[in-house]
Amino acid sequence: MIDLHNLRQRTGPILLVALTGLTLLLRVWDLNAVPPWLWWDEATQGLDARSLLGGHFRIFFPSAMGKEPLYIYLTTPFVAVWDGQPMAVRLTGALSGALMVPSLYYAARSLWPRQPAFGLWAGVAAAGFWATNFWPQSINRIGFQVNPFPLLLTLAVIAWLNYTRRPSRTRALTFGALAGLTLMTYIAARVTPLLWIALYLALPGAQRRALRPTLPWALLLGSLVIAPLALHFAQHPGDFFQRMGSFETMRGDLAQVTFEKLWWSLRQWVGGFLGVYGDPIVRHNIPDRPPFTLPVGALFAIGAGSALAVTLRRRDQAGVTLLLWWVTASIAFLASATNAPHFTRLFGALPPALLLAAMPIGWLAERLKQPARLALGGLLALLLAFEGMQMTRAYFITWTQRAELYGAYQGDTWAFGQRVAETHDAVGVAALNPGYGEQWAYAFARTPLHQLSADEGDVEGWLAARFDQAEGQLVMTPVWSEGGNLSADPRHALPFYLEREGALQAEEALRGFQLLTFRLGEQPQFAAAGQSGQPTGCPYPCPLPPDLTLVAGRWGAAYPSPNRDGDSSAAGAPLWAVLTWRSTRPLSDARVAVELVDSAGHWLAADEEWLLEETGVWSPAATFQTYHLLTVPVTQPPGEARLRVRVYDAKTLTPLLAGTDRAQQSIPLGVASMTPPMTPVDAAALPLDLPLPYTVAPGIELLGAAAWPATANAGQTITLRLYWRLGGPSAPQSPLRVALAGTAVRADVVLPTGTQAGQIIHTDTDLLLPADTPAGSYALRLTAGEEAASIALGSLDVANRPRQFEPPVLAHPLANGAIFGEMAQLLGLTSAPEAAGQSISVAAGQPVTLTLAWRALETPPRDLVRFIHVLGADGRPVAQEDSPPCASACPATSWLPGEVFVEQARLTLPVDLPAGSYPLAVGWYDATTLRRLPAAGATDSEKRVAPDMALLPVKLILTR
């Protein structure tokens, strides 16, 4: 049998060495890879240590909102050996955690010096709890400056206990030095002077008097240790207060700190140590996992309760010390008024909490006889084994496999840095939020990585300074799709400029981002001003009432065109546009379309972006940009093409009209001059749906056609795109025409002039099928002159619908209905199932169907779109339905004068729309130009609410 003396003399140190070795192993095992990657706050420790190695000594480090110096100085030797590796910035924390094992053991021996069994067993238990607890296991393996704080504070408490029991100058100096060093660790240590004052005042009068001769030595050395840092704070008070801004009770606006919030913090604080609540931050913890298991939490509750009881009964120094230590070290957490246990802010309170949890074990060991004490040791061993296995599994398996760690430890920025480092001759550039680039600066110091800060105001100048001389450079950039940098470049300005000045070489989808690789072209011009002329009809700033203004617009030719400022672009090359906006409210549903059309209005290219990205930041006083690239078709013939801007609501498709011309639904941005392509076009790569190789005339070769609709309605216009190879710049002597065989329907094909010999171009020819074209199948043929043979292009089936010229029976007839553009007249509405008199009752979120009757007055030359608006109290639409007439079954170009057509409109009201009465308005607009038709001739019962809209004779009554 091993008696108490042998246990104290041999078993105690053996257990201590074993626990310390086990703790060291748990703290350093695979430290380079667990935690994975590297959080930017950790990286700043390495950067600061690297600065020290370069001879730049500091007493306070401004990185990461400001840091006390001890962790940096302790980390410097490891960075000197393993610079750039995560392990180097984490080893100080790991070693601090391992040294806490003997520190806790000797803290217990110092707390209960006259109760050797109590101190021995409590020390072993507290050390074992530290070794097997998830909380220190996690924090000790992260390169956080808080790690030496619990160690130094524990050593200072041991020194204080030894000093108060046997005062001497040496013990006073030891305590003063450790107390001063504690203040050099972490912001939470700034409360420790309160602890020493409280402990001093808690001493009996005789002990306080015994300290007076030597206490000045402790104060002197402690002051000398902290003096450099205190002097720095005196000279730079902003450094002292900067990080304290993260504590709500330290901010100027104390109104944010409510009694309820403080009470909740107190509950979370106590509940965390009782095994009820846990830190929600995945970087520290399995979210919300309590730091104490129920057995340890129960032991803590018993220990804290007994310490309080003993203290109140007879002012026990051990109980007073532990309680004051635990409460004082928790002040940083309580001052933050946060609503969950925070592992770093509460880290200094963990040692006294573990010692309190160990108190019941020490109390039992002191009172039990040898056989029962051995049983207690077996139970303690089982508890520690259970705690250790549970913690090891939770940390190394459960926690490390959590998907959220990828963002929590910047796995995306690390992956990007690695890809750039592995790619020969590549340069990386990425938009990052402030601070996130520290990972690159430390771990990828030899890799050419450029960080575009999220708050960079002059992106063009920033890029020009770095890449305007980088002709042919391979540049890699990420487009973030998740994580902390998602808002760094919400409008994707960086890939826009790289694509404008180069060519996309590769695109790869990786976790959290899209990796784009560009090859910069000749003479990059990132700072090009472009064309910025005033748009026709709406000079800058161009208002789009009521909330939006187009402040400015610039555009030009992109690579490979040689001049980014010019107004000419080669076919096949992109055009670029940068638009500057201001809005009085966040227009989250608005989209901006920049379109390129030829002189006849044929669509050539377009680029659409959200006016405000989901992750963008809106401010009523600030301007913001949208960035657009449009690739001109490689077969675009020489000539002019028009750029225009259109803004619309993505939910209702309602256009935002320029304030200077409400009939103008797009804003002319500029006129670009198209030039021949810079390299010959490969005919085999053309999008030919119908290859039709045929020499029409000398120097004019038809290559083929794009597909057209197999069936068209009478009155419809179909556009035929034909592809040609031209031998020279001359137009043909005989006119080219596309004809519908057996009818008089035909349209001229206009070949451009000014082409290069052998240039491949396309032509767009509009063939209007008259409204009275008989139904049937027709051949489409191409002719070159009256006497020339025609070429069969293909066939077209023409459908002609049934027509009526008498109006149906109407529930709401209009004797003199509104006339729109002299094209169509509203006759009235048929009955609706929901209608009751002059109103239609409908529930929010439910559809309502309206049936309208119209009379055609003319055959419109172009297609029209009918719209119905549900109007709010301010006259703006709260819901909308736009549709071609009869859902495209009776297109406007198929109307015959006097014809009557009946169509249905289906409206759905938003689910969040308030109950009430909502008027309905109707109107028409040109499907090509988007211009609305003017409304005229409305009666009193059908008033016009705008020059281009008329009220319907019924209202919607929204019910809940």
Rounded to a whole number of angstroms, the distance between the first and last alpha carbons of the chain is 83
Query: What digits encode the pLDDT tens for the residues 547-565?
Result: 899 999 999 999 999 889 9
**Three-state DSSP class for 608?**
strand
Of the ranges 569-583, 660-674, 816-830, 833-847, which one carries the lowest mean pLDDT score?
Answer: 833-847
pLDDT value of residue 8: 53
Give the tens place of pLDDT for each residue, 762-773: 999 999 999 888
pLDDT higher than 90, residue 845: no
Which residues on adjacent β-strands are paired with residue 865?
A: 925
pLDDT in tens, 597-644: 998 889 999 999 999 887 677 888 789 999 999 999 999 999 999 999
| Encoded tokens for 334 | 């309580």
Do residues 550 and 582 touch, judged by C-beta distance below 8 A? no
Q: What residues have CB less than 8 Å from 313, skipping those under 6 apart?
A: none
Reported confidence tier of residue 659, pLDDT bands at 50, 70, 90: low
**953 vs 535, higher pLDDT:** 953
CA distances from 392 to 29, 69, 289, 383 (A): 11, 32, 14, 14
Give me the residue label for tokens 């520190």: 103
> What is the overall mean pLDDT for the chain?
90
Specify the 3-state DSSP secondary structure of 161.
helix
The answer for residues whose C-beta is within 8 angstroms of residue 479's C-beta and 6 or more apart is: 492, 495, 513, 514, 516
Domains located in the chain, CATH noted: 4-399 (no CATH), 425-520 (no CATH), 542-675 (2.70.50.60), 683-799 (2.60.40.10), 812-959 (2.60.40.770)
Q: Which amino acid is at 238?
A: G
- What's the token pair of residue 355? 């010692």
Element (H, E) at 137: helix 134-140
Report pTM.
0.83
d(CA 151, CA 74): 13
**What is the model's pLDDT at position 880?**
85
In terms of average pLDDT, the best of 41-55, 311-325, 339-353, 370-384 is: 41-55
116-147 as b/e, with b when 16 or more CB fall inside 10 Å? bbbbbbbbbbbbbbbbbbbbbbbbbbbbbbbb
Above 90 in pLDDT, residue 878? no
**Average pLDDT estimate for 576-589:** 92
**Ranges 109-123, 774-788, 942-956: which has the least confidence:** 942-956
pLDDT value at residue 249: 45
Dihedral angle over CA of 149, 155, 159, 160, nearest 10? 40
Is the Cβ–Cβ distance between 129 and 29 less than 8 Å?
no
DSSP at 398: I
How much is the pLDDT for 649?
Answer: 87
Q: How far is CA 710 from CA 19, 150, 610, 798, in A?
A: 83, 80, 35, 9
CB 781 within 8 A of CB 790: yes
pLDDT reading at 361 higher than 60: yes
Give DSSP secondary structure letters for 700-752: EEEEEE----SEEETT-EEEEEEEEEESSSPPPSSPEEEEETTSS-EEEE---
